[in-house]
Structure formats: structure tokens, C-alpha cells
Amino acid sequence: MPVRNPLHFVYLIHAISFIGSGKWIYDKLKLALNSTTSDISKSLCSNVSHPVEWLSELVSAANWFGDRVKLLQGSLTYLDRAYLLHQTDLRTIKLLSMELFDLQVFKSAAIQERLSAGIEAWISSERKSGKPHQNREIIKKLMIVLHEYSKFNPLFFETFLKETLRFYQAESENLSGPNAYKESPGEFLVHCDKRISEERQRAREVLALFPWCEGDIQKTTEEALLKGRLQWLSGVGLENAIASKNIAGLGRMYSLFSRVDGLKRLCEEFKAKVTASVAKIVNDKEREEEMVDRLLELKGFIDEALPIAFVNVSISDSAAANVDVKPTRTTNIDFVHAASDAFQAGFRGRKLKPAEMIAKYLDRAMRKGQQDATTEDFNKVMQRVLVLYRYTQDKDVFRTFYHKALARRLLTQRSASDQSEKQVLKILKENYDPEFSMGDQMFIDLDLSDDLTREFYKRYPEPEAEALSVKILQRSFWPFVARQKEDIRLPLFMQDVLSNYVNFYKGKHENRKLDFDHSLGTAQMHAQFKAGSKELTLSLYQAVILLMFNDQNVLSYNEIKENTGLNDEELKRTLQSLACGKKKVLKKKPVGKDVNDTDEFIYNADFTDPRQKVHINSIQVKETIEESKKTQSIIEGDRKHYLDAAIVRVMKAKKNMMHQALITATIDAVNKHFTPDVRMIKERIERLIEEEYMRRDDEVDGKYVYVA
Amino acid sequence: MIDSFCSFTRAPKETAKLYIDKYLALDIAVDAYYTNPNEFAQTSSKRAEQDRNAKLSALYEKYKAEDPQEENIALNGTIKLCTDLGVDPQDVVLLALAYELNSSEMCVWEKKGWMDGWRNLGCDSIESMKVALQQIRQKLGSDATYFNAVYAKTFAFGLAANQRHLALDMALGFWQLLIPHALAGGALAHEDEDGMDEDGKERGWTDEYTDWWFEFLQEKGLKGITRDIWSQLPVFIRSIDTKFQNYNEDDSWPTVIDEFVERAKSKLAT
């Protein structure tokens, strides 16, 4: 220590105090303390040690001074207790000495500057190295001194926080830059997490005397690191986290954002990113077939992430006392809504197609059936797909495609299980669209048909009759348009049986009109090949053609065409399935993949197949493009009728109406089926004005009047 | 006796003659005159009427004679009429005249319409007709109500038999005549709610926009114009500002006008 002031004179004043000159002694003491502290101050100012070591000098000086003051207190107990205590304008020795030390040392600008430099040097060193400073003990001792003088806040903590803010702001700036984590905000957040726990750890270890400051330090650190980065983090960060299905990353973002008051922004950004992801999937024309799978995957991830990543953790008061009780975790409902809104918005990115793809996805699933899955799991999958359906605005598109596929499944007996079909229809009808009740009618038709067929067998107990099974479908419940006239010409024996059936049916329902659609028919027949007999299941078209080869071994394309009366397109497709597919029951001359008008066909006696029952696949009409276009245009037409009807209904009820109100009422009226765009409604209104269902009001612009 | 009648009553000689001829005695005739001095007035205006009808009828027959096989004045008659009246057959005033004479289709003038129409206009000679045409041309350009009436009539007038839509080239032809005329005269002037002209610049529709409208319709390939589009166009023209800023697509405008405004806005932006 530099200052070793002559304290011998205190003994002197000790003696004097007895003779009643308290004030004199006090003055002498004050002078002595003043010069001592002043010397300490000077000595500290002129000390040139390293900033952190300088802190050590400060601590020693303060401690030395403290010791001396204790000594004084001991020697001058009488002065302190008997005299000073009763003098209101004079301080006790302890207070006086502290006041003077404060005045001379702590209030000195130069000392404050060195002190700040020391703190900064220490904390920077720890932060840069990531390790405790070798002289960390000095800091702990400094804390005791500052605690004693009540100087922690102004002399240490303010500087500390300022430095913390400065340091982490700079670090955040650097680390989010192009040479660091610019592309991987997730890693940046990992780093932030590490920094925050380092700071808290340090606060607990070094600043234990001031436990309240841990929270302040954490807050400052978080804000410094994150405040300016929110946009980048929520933007790039969310995108990466969603793309890489990083739930932990999302959770980290959520908890960090929640601490810097950034949840609103995070939620908005989350919604935007999910919307964009959904829109991207539904608009990916090259991967349309995978659309639904990809949507399900995304939905699955979001559903999984919501209750893990986007949760508020809270500890209830009663639980706080009990360490074992887990804190309650509640999913942030804003994010749940955001996810749902985002899916809806994303679906809006593409019209019609998503609804169609969902219907087709379900069709495949229903054909496959639940297989090894439990009923429960199967239903879960169905439910998930149907949730996607909820997001589309084109409910009518879904219904049309689903209906068509359902009809086809039921008639060609391709559905895996009636039970599942009914189950899904029930869900659709009850939860989504009451019009799915047509499914019930379809099943009723099929059941009635079976009853009728059984009755028919009783009436005509002959083998030919019993080979026939007819499905009577009411046109209004089935999605097929009436067949064009030129259906296949059936062989006589078939036609006879069918005529019997028609007579039988007319006997029961005289006024009903029956139209047959053989293109939907199926047949089973026995066929003899060299290798033995096979049981073939095929389409009725295929069967009729094959039957012709009972009489003749070779037939030309034109002969077959003549006999069947099929048009070229259907005939070629059918012949192709028999002679050019995997299972060739006919041979074609010349051999080739396509069927030409000049080809000849020969019964293939050499046909073999490992199975006894052989199914010959039909070649499906290119359903994907042409037919779905056709269906789409049917839907478009239906929508126009729907809108016309809705507008007329509304106008009829209200007699006259303003434009906006009519638009709103019309949207409401059709909303369950689809969401029309306003321009389409306007076009329909124009059309109805043209057709004189309504007119514009003569007086008021934008008002319509119903024309009875 | 007539002179005596005149000196008593100061009535003109023709009147005196009518009374004397009817009542024979002077005192009875004078008495009758004082009781009802207008007894023969109607007859005289009736005569003038008959006179006018005869003139109009003669004119009608004259022009009808140009197309002897037709029931009404037809194409050649119309051309002759126009020549006599000193107007181009393509003059916008003929649309107003078609309205006045209630002509059912182009270049066809029915007798009833001809008679009633000219009579309403107070005409019975080519000279008076020329004057009337000047007046209705001017009125068509400046009087919004009159313009609306002629404009509405023009649609029906231009429809081909059993058609609901006005063929596009017809519509364009009519607009070409009507819009510039009414813009210049004020019948299609911009209706501003506050009536203020902020920057002193021209407000509302211009002839250039008429060209844009034509261009747009031709490119769009519309075949016909519905009555609704036809009747909404003048409303639109009167309401729109020069920059199309006050246009609201959510209002009840026909969608064709929505599309036109989109086009016009993007044109203005470039």
C-alpha cells in the first residue's frame, strides 16, 4: 500500500478526548481522514497497473482504509459513543470515514474512469475467452467493497449493463452477417441461448451479493442479441426451421421471441411462411400427384410442432412450492389459429385442383382399404385427409370428383370395404356437406338391385338368367351422364336375358325408363387354353369381343367392329387391353403396341398364367387430363346455375337491393359449396338483367329491382 | 252586307263572310258574332292543319316514290331527303330525327311517325325542317335528358330483327357519332359531386378514351353489346374522372367496364 499515514497522533487525540474537547478532536480526526483518503485517491490515480489489476489496488486501498477505521473506532470508542452520537451535526467515525472515502475516491472522475476501464477489461476478457478471468477473485472482492459503500449500482452495474449491451449488439451484428450465420439463423439462436446461460451463470457466481441483477443482465443480453434481428430471424429462421422440420429450432425461436416481446411478429411471420409453403405445394404442377402427401406431411409437422414449440410455460403458485410438479405447458392459441388460417390462405393459391387431388387421393385410399392397419389408424388417416378438404373453398369440386370415384368403385366392386365407404360418407355428410347423403341413396340402389336380381332368378330359374346381375341406378343419385346411343351390341343370348330382365322390371315399375350402360359392366367367364382352363374377370366389352372367338379363330379389326358396333376409339382401347397388355389372351397380327384398322386378331391358345383366376385390366380412358377437364367444366356450369338460382332467390325475397348487399347475400348463399369470386357474380347479374329476371333501378345507381 | 258587318264588328272580311253566309240576316249574324266570335276559328285552324298535313303527306309521298316497291320511305328516299335537307346521311342529327319521327330501323321512315314527328316539330316544309334539324342537333349535344332519350332509342333502332345484342360495328358507329357530339356540347360532361375543379385541368372522359374504349372492345372480340352495357356507358362516362381514380370495381358496373378500367389505368401508368 502506498499510503501509510502517521496515525500516531490519534493516540494523542485519544488522550485529549478525556478532557472534554470532543469537537476539537473530531475536527482533527476529520482533517486526518481527509488527507488520508486524498492520498489514497492520488496514489490510485497515479497507479499504472493493468486495468483489472488496478481494481485489485482499489480493493486493497479500501480494505486497508477500512482496517484503519476499525482501529480508530476501537481507540476512540468513547468519542464515538459518548460524544458524537449526541451531536446531530456530526457523524460517527464510521460514517465520517466512509463519506470522506466516497468523496475523495469514488467521486473522483479519474477513479471512476479507471474503475469502468477495469470492469470493461474484465468482462470483455471473460466474454471473449469464454472462461472465467484469472483474477476473477478481485471482482468478487470488489463486490464486497461496493456493497459496503452501497456503490454497486452507480459504479459497477450501470457500466456493466452498458458494456453488456454494447458487446452483444456488436456481436449480434457480426454474427448475423454474411460471414457468419446469415443463412443459418437457427445456429445463431443456439449461440444466443449459450450466451444467455453464460451470463446468468456469471451473475450467479460473481454477483451473488446482488441476486436481483441476474434478471436484468439476462434481459439486456437478450435484447442486445435479438432486438434488431427479429425480422431476419423470423423470416429466414422460420423458413429454415419449417423446411428442415426442426421443432427444437422453432421452440428456441418461440422462447427467445417471447422474451423480447416479439411473439406477435413471430406469429405473423409463421403464418406467412406456412401459407407460402402450402401455396408452393398446391401450385407445383410437376408434382401434382404428390400434392396431398406433401400437404399431409406439412400438416403433420405443424400439428406436431404446435404443442411442443409454441408453448407458454407457467408454474402455478401451488406448484411452485413443490419441485416435483411439472410446470403447465399451454400451446399458444394464436399460433394454432395462424396455422389454420395459413392452410386456408395457401389453398386459395390455386383454384379447383387441390380439391380434385384430395378426392382422388381418397379414391386411391378407399380402393386400397385399410389393409394391415387397424380401423382406428385407418380412420385417423381419413380424418387427416378430410381436414385438408376443410381448407379448400371448392367443396363442390371435391364432391363431384369424390362422387364420381365412389360410383366407379361401387359398380366395379373395387372398393376395399363397404364399411369404410359408409364410414367416410357419414363423416362427410355430418361434418362437411349434407349433400353427401346421395351416398346413402347409392347404397340403397345397390341393395335394391340385389333384391331384384334375386327375385329375377326365381322368376327365370335358368342358368343363362342366373348369369345376369343388373344394377338399377336412379339417375339423380349417380354421377353418370346417359350413354350415347352407340353402345356395344351384345350377343343374342345376352340380349335375350337382358330383355327378360327388362320385361320383369317393367312388370314391377311400368313407368320407369331403363337405359343400360354396358361400358360399366363386368363379366366373368371360363376360357380354355392349351395349358388348361382359366377363370377370367374382365369388362363386358372385353368379354363380348372374346366371345366372338368361340366361333372363329381369326377376326379382322373390321369384322370385330362390324359385330360389336363400337366406335374406333373404344374398340381400339379394348383390343389393346386384350392383345397388347401384360396378359395377352389374343394375338395381334402384326405384333405391335398400337391397334390399327388393318390388324387381325387370333385367339391365343398358348396363354398361360400362374393363377387360376385372371383379371384382365381395362385400359382406362386418360381420365387425368380430358375427363378431369370435362368434370371441371361441368362444375363451372353448375356454379353458374347455382349463382343464378341464388341471385334470383335473393332478389325475389327482397324485391330490390343494392349491389353490395346482393353480392354479400349471394356469397353467403353458396358458401357451403364454393367461394365464388365477385366478378363471376357480377357476370351472372348482368346475364340475369339481360334475361330480364331483374333490372337496374331507374333512379338509384347500383340498385337492382326484381322483375316478376 | 259584309261591309256593314265589318264596320259594326271590326272583324276581317273573311270572318264576316262566314257569319253572313251562315245566318243570312245582318242583325242575326252580328248577334251571333258577339255571342261567339270564335265560332269559325276552329274551322280555320283545322284548315291550316289540313293544309299542313297535305304538305307533309305530299313530301312523304315524294320521298317514298324513290323506292316504289317499299311500304315506307326507304334507302333512296332517305338519301334524297338528306340531300334536300342539306345533311350528310351519317350526321348524328339523323339519330335525333329517328327518335323524333319514331323510326323503327335505319333508313326506314314510317308514315305515322313522319306525320306526328314533323308536326310536333312544327314543320311542313323543307325550309322549316332545316331549321328544326339545327335545333335538335344542338339540343342533342347539350341537353342530357334529351341525349339520354335519343341514346336509348338508338339501341332499339340499331338492333337487327330478333336480336338482343347490338352488333359491335353498329354500336361503335353510333358511339362514334354520339359520344364526341355530346362531350363537346356538354350532355356527357363530368358530373362532379362538389362541382369543383381543383387544378383547373380538364376533368372526366375525353375523346381519346373513346378511342381506347373502341380499341378495347375490338381486341376483346365481343360480338355484341348488351342493352345493359349500352345504357351504363353514358352513366360511366359522366361519373369517371380523368385518371379513373374514383372508379370502384365493387360497384355495380358491368364487368366489361371493370376490365376496360383496368386496361385504361395500366395505359395511363405507362
Domains B51-141 and B151-269 share a fold: yes
Identify from A697, A699, A701, A707 which residue to disrupt to test chain B contact, counting B C-beta atoms within 10 A and taking the largest count. A701
Closest Cβ–Cβ partner in B228, B250, B253 for A689: B228
The domain of A567 spans 521-615
Domain assignment present for residue A290? The answer is yes
Domain assignment present for residue A398? The answer is yes
A611 and A629, same domain (yes or no) = no
CATH number of domain containing A675: 1.10.10.10
A61 and A204, same domain (yes or no) = yes
Domain assignment present for residue A442? The answer is yes
Domain assignment present for residue A620? The answer is no
Domain assignment present for residue A515? The answer is no
> pLDDT value at position A666?
93
Average model confidence (pLDDT) for chain A? Answer: 83
**Torsion sign across C-alpha atoms A628, A630, A636, A639:** negative
Q: Are A289 and A296 in contact (CB under 8 A)?
A: no
Consecutive H or E run containing A555: strand A554-556
A679 in contact with B at a CB cutoff of 8 Å? Answer: yes
A341 and A363, same domain (yes or no) = no
Last residue of a domain, one of A508, A532, A548: A508
A678 in contact with B at a CB cutoff of 8 Å? Answer: yes
> pLDDT value at position A580?
87
All three cell numbers of B95: 339519330
A663 in contact with B at a CB cutoff of 8 Å? Answer: yes
**Which chain A residues are within 8 Å of B249, Cβ to Cβ?**
678
Lowest mean pLDDT among A178-192, A435-449, A597-611, B115-129: A178-192
A81 and A139, same domain (yes or no) = yes
A330 and A375, same domain (yes or no) = no
- B-chain residue closest to A659, CA distance: B252
Residues 6 or more apart whose CB falls under 8 angstroms from that of B165 comprise B159, B223, B224, B225, B226
CATH dotted code for B151-269 = 1.10.238.200
Supply the pTM of this predicted model. Answer: 0.62
Q: Where residue A39 falls among pLDDT bands split at 50, 70, 90?
A: confident
The residue assigned the cell 481507540 is A75
**Which chain A residues are within 8 Å of B260, Cβ to Cβ?**
none
Which residues of chain B fall short of a pLDDT of 50?
194-197, 200
A659 in contact with B at a CB cutoff of 8 Å? Answer: yes
B270 in contact with A at a CB cutoff of 8 Å? Answer: no
Last residue of a domain, one of A471, A486, A508: A508
Residues 6 or more apart whose CB falls under 8 angstroms from that of A701 comprise B235, B251, B252
- B-chain residue closest to A677, CA distance: B250
Lowest mean pLDDT among A88-102, A135-149, A487-501: A88-102
A485 and A361, same domain (yes or no) = yes
Residues 6 or more apart whose CB falls under 8 angstroms from that of A400 comprise A359, A479, A631, A634, A635, A638
Are B226 and A686 an interchain contact pair (Cβ–Cβ within 8 Å)? yes
A234 and A156, same domain (yes or no) = no
Residue B42 to residue B21: CA distance in whole angstroms: 17
Domain assignment present for residue A162? The answer is yes
Closest Cβ–Cβ partner in B228, B251, B255 for A702: B251
A339 and A359, same domain (yes or no) = no
Pick left, alpha or beta for residue A493 (phi over 0 → left; psi -120 to 50 → alpha; otherwise beta): alpha
Mean pLDDT value of segment A66-93: 73
Are B255 and A678 an interchain contact pair (Cβ–Cβ within 8 Å)? no
CB atoms within 10 A of CB A454: 10
Last residue of a domain, one of A203, A224, A245: A224
A215 and A70, same domain (yes or no) = yes
**What's the gap in Å between the CA of B214 and the closest CA on chain A?**
21
Are A660 and B250 an interchain contact pair (Cβ–Cβ within 8 Å)? yes
**What's the gap in Å between the CA of B215 and the closest CA on chain A?**
22
Are A690 and B235 an interchain contact pair (Cβ–Cβ within 8 Å)? no
**Which chain A residues are within 8 Å of B164, Cβ to Cβ?**
690
Identify from A686, A687, A693, A704 which residue to disrupt to test chain B contact, counting B C-beta atoms within 10 A and taking the largest count. A686
Every domain of chain B and the residues it spans: 1-39, 51-141, 151-269
Q: Which residue from A342, A211, A354, A351 is spatially nearest to A293, judged by alpha carbons?
A: A354
- B-chain residue closest to A680, CA distance: B255
pLDDT in tens, A86-99: 666 677 777 888 88
Q: Are A586 and A603 in contact (CB under 8 A)?
A: yes
Domain assignment present for residue A66? The answer is yes
> pLDDT value at position A322?
57
Mean pLDDT value of segment A527-552: 89
All three cell numbers of A79: 468519542
Say what the ipTM of the complex is: 0.72
Mean pLDDT value of segment A399-416: 84
Superfamily of domain B51-141: EF-hand (1.10.238.10)
A685 in contact with B at a CB cutoff of 8 Å? Answer: yes
Split into its structural domains, chain A has a count of 5
**What's the gap in Å between the CA of B106 and the closest CA on chain A?**
24
Are A663 and B254 an interchain contact pair (Cβ–Cβ within 8 Å)? no
A596 and A655, same domain (yes or no) = no
Mean pLDDT value of segment A545-559: 90
Domain assignment present for residue A478? The answer is yes
The residue assigned the cell 488496478 is A54
**What's the gap in Å between the CA of A662 and the closest CA on chain B?**
10
pLDDT in tens, A634-671: 888 888 998 999 999 999 998 999 999 999 999 998 88
Identify from A651, A682, A688 which residue to disrupt to test chain B contact, counting B C-beta atoms within 10 A and taking the largest count. A682
A488 and A380, same domain (yes or no) = yes
